[in-house]
Amino acid sequence: MRTQVCIVGGGPSGLLLAQLLHRAGIDNVLLEKHSRAYVLGRIRAGVLEHGFARLMQEAGCGERMAREGQVHHGFWIARDGRLERVDLHKHSGGGSVIVYGQTELTRDLYEARERMGGTVLHEAEAVALEGLTTERPSVVYRKDGRTERVECEFVIGADGFHGVCRRAIPAGALREYERTYPFGWLGVLSRTPPVSPELIYVKHARGFALCSLRSNVLSRYYIQVPLSDRIEDWPDEAFWEELKRRLPADVAARLVTGPAIEKSIAPLRAYVAEPMRYGRLFLAGDAAHIVPPTGARGLNSAASDLYYLSRALIAWYRDRDASGLDGYSARALARVWKAQRFSWWMTMLLHEFPETSAYERRLQEAELDYLFSSERALGALAENYVGLPY
Ligand code: APR
Ligand code: PHB
């Protein structure tokens, strides 16, 4: 098979890029190793920047998000049994975020792709990338027990953190940065009304907690757990009990509990690979960088990659202008690192670290006291949370 751009990975990054290129008249083929049902079964992030929504509009898939997504102008931080509000609108100069689940967003992207007749090969696993430093690279993939090949002009590695594309870059050409945290988040999705219309991030001596939501009838809650914990250690009742212990009493009293529709433990880690390009291979989204979920930066960091990359490819195909492609890695990484910094800061601020000394604990408290006593500190939090410009 021949195409202009071969995109590896049918998560939000690959799908959104495929749509943006398709609308610009650039032929592309997308390979996804799992079935569509499997991809849509994954529960992930839910807080989006307006920049992401604009890309969805541009890709012709933003209608339902505009209709059903909830605009949030603030969130809460709970500590010592009380709630303090971060007014995003006021402190970011009019900003807000959109609450809309990644599952819904991925469904919208698949449906748009279908309407436009774009090629998505499901259960097609890329196994090797060849000729990346030539003008005619190709992707070798396995489907239905057969080995096939896509010949193309560019390869996009949008195959997530565990994908093959990043690993196709020779070790000497790649620099990796990593931080693992000594805990994970146990997440529960339940068909219950959310305890609060706005998110609540909870700092508590027993560990961090988060009250989030997907809609007025669908809630998403998390608690910090040790890495040694397993899902079997956490029957629904135990989860709700522990969550209530970490919430301020009045919030705990109005929490509506119910059976978990989904329950999983995700370790917290940060990772960045530099550069995000090798020859004709360009990495985007989780394939190149991941963040702990604390500041809701994951999907939003992917969005800025896709913005820069779509513009770069469009300029190349329209005018043979290579400047966007040449500058892609540096531009994308400049924003990626700011998102890394922000999620690191929020993670350090709100979690219990097993080895934290009494001194460091007091610093954490001082940081929070400072935050809520300073308009400028709140401004720094708010402008990062709603998303830095790109
Ligand atoms: N061949 C084809 N597809 C592959 C391969 C491969 N060798 N390896 C992985 N994939 C697919 C995965 O099955 C997955 O569907 O690539 C996709 C990558 O999707 P994600 O992991 O969702 O990564 P990305 O699209 O960059 O999404 C950005 O934002 O909310 C955050 O981390 C969250 O997933 C989210 C991310
Ligand atoms: C979520 O709703 O899944 C969510 C929200 C905010 C975060 C992380 C996760 O910071």
Q: For the chain, what's the residue count?
A: 390
**Is residue 258 within 8 Å of residue 191, measured between CB atoms?**
yes
What mean pLDDT is predicted for residues 232-253? 98
Q: How far is the CA of 99 from the centre of ligand 2 (A)?
A: 9
* pLDDT digit string, tens, across residues 53-87: 999 999 999 999 999 999 999 999 999 999 999 99
What's the CA gap between 108 and 63, in Å, rounded? 9
**Higher-scoring residue by pLDDT: 43, 16:** 16
Pair of tokens at residue 140: 């070798």
Give the pLDDT band (50/70/90) at residue 232: very high
- Tell me the CA distances in angstroms from 109 to 6, 34, 261, one per residue in order: 17, 16, 23
**Is residue 202 within 8 Å of residue 261, measured between CB atoms?**
no
Give the pLDDT band (50/70/90) at residue 42: confident
Q: How far is the CA of 7 from the centre of ligand 2 (A)?
A: 27
* Predicted confidence (pLDDT) at residue 386 exceeds the cutoff of 90: yes
pLDDT score recorded for residue 293 = 97
* pLDDT digit string, tens, across residues 142-176: 999 999 999 999 999 999 999 999 999 999 999 99
What mean pLDDT is predicted for residues 311-316? 98
User: Which residue, among 204, 154, 173, 196, has the nearest Cα to 313 in the 3D structure?
Assistant: 154
Three-class SS of residue 311? helix
pLDDT score recorded for residue 109 = 96
pTM for this structure?
Answer: 0.97
What's the CA gap between 285 and 288, in Å, rounded? 6
Name the residue of 100, 195, 210 whose CB sits within 8 Å of the most ligand 2 atoms, as the mutation to test its pocket. 210
pLDDT score recorded for residue 43 = 81
**Is residue 44 within 8 Å of residue 286, measured between CB atoms?**
no
What mean pLDDT is predicted for residues 1-24? 97
Give the pLDDT band (50/70/90) at residue 221: very high
Q: How far is the CA of 215 from the centre of ligand 2 (A)?
A: 13
Please report the atom of ligand 2 found closest to the CA of residue 44: 3
Give the pLDDT band (50/70/90) at residue 177: very high
Closest-CA residue, ligand 1 atom 19, reads: 11
Give the pLDDT band (50/70/90) at residue 211: very high
* Predicted confidence (pLDDT) at residue 306 exceeds the cutoff of 90: yes
Q: Which residue has the tokens 């301020």?
A: 248
Ligand 2 neighbours by CB, cut-off 6 Å = 45-47, 199, 212, 220, 293-296
**Higher-scoring residue by pLDDT: 44, 320:** 320
- Strand ranges of the sheet holding 200-202, from the earlier edge strand across to the other edge: 82-87, 74-79, 200-202, 209-215, 218-226, 175-190, 260-274, 289-290
pLDDT score recorded for residue 356 = 87
Ligand 1 neighbours by CB, cut-off 6 Å = 8-14, 31-34, 39, 44-45, 102, 125-126, 158-160, 163-164, 285-286, 298-299, 302
Please report the atom of ligand 2 found closest to the CA of residue 214: 2
Pair of tokens at residue 361: 């604990």
Q: How far is the CA of 305 from the centre of ligand 1 (A)?
A: 14
Residue type, 370: Y
Residue 369 CB contacts under 8 Å (≥ 6 apart), including other chains: none
Domains in the chain with CATH codes: 5-70+97-178+269-348 (3.50.50.60), 181-268+353-386 (3.30.9.10)
Q: How far is the CA of 349 from the centre of ligand 2 (A)?
A: 16
Pair of tokens at residue 264: 């999983």
Residue type, 362: R
Ligand found nearest the CA of 209: 2
**Is residue 288 within 8 Å of residue 336, measured between CB atoms?**
yes
Average pLDDT, the chain: 97
What's the CA gap between 14 and 143, in Å, rounded? 19
* Predicted confidence (pLDDT) at residue 119 exceeds the cutoff of 90: no
Give the pLDDT band (50/70/90) at residue 261: very high
Contacts from 287-290 at CB under 8 Å and sequence distance 24+?
287/9, 287/13, 287/157, 287/158, 287/159, 287/160, 287/161, 287/163, 287/165, 287/166, 288/157, 288/166, 288/332, 288/336, 289/336, 289/340, 290/161
pLDDT score recorded for residue 44 = 84
Strand partners, 332: none
- Strand ranges of the sheet holding 47-48, from the earlier edge strand across to the other edge: 47-48, 97-99, 70-72
pLDDT score recorded for residue 41 = 86
User: Which residue, among 270, 286, 288, has the nearest Cα to 278 in the 3D structure?
Assistant: 288
Please report the atom of ligand 2 found closest to the CA of residue 45: 3
Could you give the percent of the chain with pLDDT greater than 90?
Answer: 97
**Higher-scoring residue by pLDDT: 165, 43:** 165
What's the CA gap between 386 and 89, in Å, rounded? 9
Q: How far is the CA of 293 from the centre of ligand 2 (A)?
A: 6
* Burial of 214: CB neighbours in 10 Å, binned 0-12, 13-18, 19+: buried
